């Protein structure tokens, strides 16, 4: 990915997405002995960073002069919601395959945007399998939530905002699901300042990239249950995000469910922010002392807010 692609993406999506706040967290700064800021993609349109990639992917296809007759995707929920918003804006029919137990709020939003929801898969991997089979059968165009250059360039626009507001940042912490977010952020951040330290966070229950980087090739793992529903599952066997992560990510750590839960509760308590499990992964890495960032200028990407109120209440009550 060239940096100019990110600038192109930013211009393209500007009318549809929000420049999100970058806020200093006194709580995390004290905890980590560092200057820790949060990039609040939880406040992005659709309540996750996915709006950036989804709008970029749809508009790039329209600019190409061959508007797809129908789109299909697989999603743990947030990409489906964001792509449904983009598809609605440009009047393109969309079918979204998700796990059957995806959070209610994510599924309701997909339906509200007029997409056809098929919430029938056992897990994310099965949803992706069904979506690709549907594309092959019907001719609908499959847009991957992460294995797509335009989706990655859209996510990378986050870094242009951070570089603009906090050019002295020397460390970034980013959650990893399919790897689209960290691929875009790492590529833009290192193109602007090669000295920046890029840290990825997976959950212990599902860490295909830490496993695969160690193995030197993509190794499928068996995902377990996790509060970070947005991060569970295996990536495509041909995903372009693996090469990005191998070459641009300095370190991948894994976080426990207890640390995720403490991060979600701590963000409500100390920063008055509602964040979903995946969105809290970066904060969990500091709470669990998985990363030492003493004395650094750190930005944590808080990727999304789509947690159901019942689950949030139960986390706050424990």
Kindly list the residues in this chain that would bind a copy of itself in the complex (CB under 8 A).
18, 20-21, 23, 26, 40, 42-43, 47, 105, 112, 265, 268-269, 272-274, 305-307, 309, 312-313, 316-317
Distance CA 252, CA 269 (A): 27
- Which residue, among 290, 275, 313, has the nearest Cα to 49 in the 3D structure? 275
User: Smaller CB distance to a copy of itself: residue 25 or 150?
Assistant: 25
Nearest approach, Cβ of 236 to a copy of itself (angstroms)? Answer: 29
Distance CA 233, CA 63 (A): 32
Q: What one-character DSSP code corresponds to residue 131?
A: H
User: Smaller CB distance to a copy of itself: residue 47 or 171?
Assistant: 47
Nearest approach, Cβ of 217 to a copy of itself (angstroms)? Answer: 38
Give, in order, the Cα–Cα distances in Å from 12 to each of 23, 52, 203, 230, 306.
26, 10, 33, 26, 25
- Cβ neighbors of 167 (< 8 A, separation 6 or more) are none
Nearest approach, Cβ of 264 to a copy of itself (angstroms)? Answer: 11
User: Smaller CB distance to a copy of itself: residue 43 or 221?
Assistant: 43
DSSP alpha helix (H) spans, 33-139 = 50-63, 78-89, 104-112, 124-138
Nearest approach, Cβ of 31 to a copy of itself (angstroms)? Answer: 14
Distance CA 269, CA 274 (A): 10
User: Smaller CB distance to a copy of itself: residue 166 or 274?
Assistant: 274
Residues linked to residue 185 through DSSP beta bridges, in sequence order: none
User: Smaller CB distance to a copy of itself: residue 147 or 261?
Assistant: 261
Nearest approach, Cβ of 248 to a copy of itself (angstroms)? Answer: 30
Strands 197-203 and 116-121 turn out to be unpaired
Nearest approach, Cβ of 41 to a copy of itself (angstroms)? Answer: 12
User: Smaller CB distance to a copy of itself: residue 38 or 60?
Assistant: 38
Could you please report the per-residue DSSP string of 293-309?
-TT-EEEEEE-B----H
User: Smaller CB distance to a copy of itself: residue 74 or 273?
Assistant: 273
Calculate ∠ Cα 258-260-265, nearest 5°: 95
Nearest approach, Cβ of 249 to a copy of itself (angstroms)? Answer: 28
């Amino acid at each position: 990915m060239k940096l100019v692609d990110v600038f192109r993406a930013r211009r393209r999506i500007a009318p549809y997405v929000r420049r999100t706040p970058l806020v200093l967290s006194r709580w995390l700064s004290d905890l980590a002995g560092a200057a820790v800021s949060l990039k609040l993609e939880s406040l992005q349109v659709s309540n996750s960073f996915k709006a950036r990639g989804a709008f970029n992917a749809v508009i790039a296809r329209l600019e190409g002069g061959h508007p797809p007759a129908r789109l299909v995707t697989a999603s743990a929920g947030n990409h489906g919601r964001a792509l449904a918003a983009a598809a609605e804006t440009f009047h393109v029919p969309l079918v979204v395959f998700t796990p059957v137990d995806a959070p209610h709020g994510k599924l309701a939003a997909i339906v509200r945007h007029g997409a056809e929801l098929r919430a029938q898969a056992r897990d994310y991997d099965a949803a992706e399998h069904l979506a690709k089979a549907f594309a092959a059968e019907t001719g609908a165009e499959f847009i991957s939530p992460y294995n797509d250059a335009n989706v990655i360039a859209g996510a990378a626009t986050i870094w242009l905002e951070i570089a603009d507001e906090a050019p002295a940042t020397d460390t970034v912490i980013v959650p990893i699901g399919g790897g689209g977010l960290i691929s875009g952020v790492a590529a833009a951040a290192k193109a602007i300042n090669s000295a920046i330290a890029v840290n990825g966070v997976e959950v212990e229950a599902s860490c295909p990239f830490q496993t695969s980087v160690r193995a030197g090739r993509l190794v499928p793992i068996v995902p377990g249950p996790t509060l970070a529903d947005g991060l569970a599952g295996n990536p495509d066997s041909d995903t372009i995000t693996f090469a990005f992560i191998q070459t641009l990510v300095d370190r991948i750590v894994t976080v426990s469910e207890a640390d995720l839960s403490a991060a979600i509760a701590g963000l409500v308590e100390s920063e008055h922010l509602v964040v979903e499990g995946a969105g809290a992964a970066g904060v969990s890495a500091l709470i669990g002392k998985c990363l030492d960032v003493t004395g650094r200028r750190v930005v944590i990407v808080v990727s999304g807010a789509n947690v159901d109120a019942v689950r949030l209440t139960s986390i706050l009550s424990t």
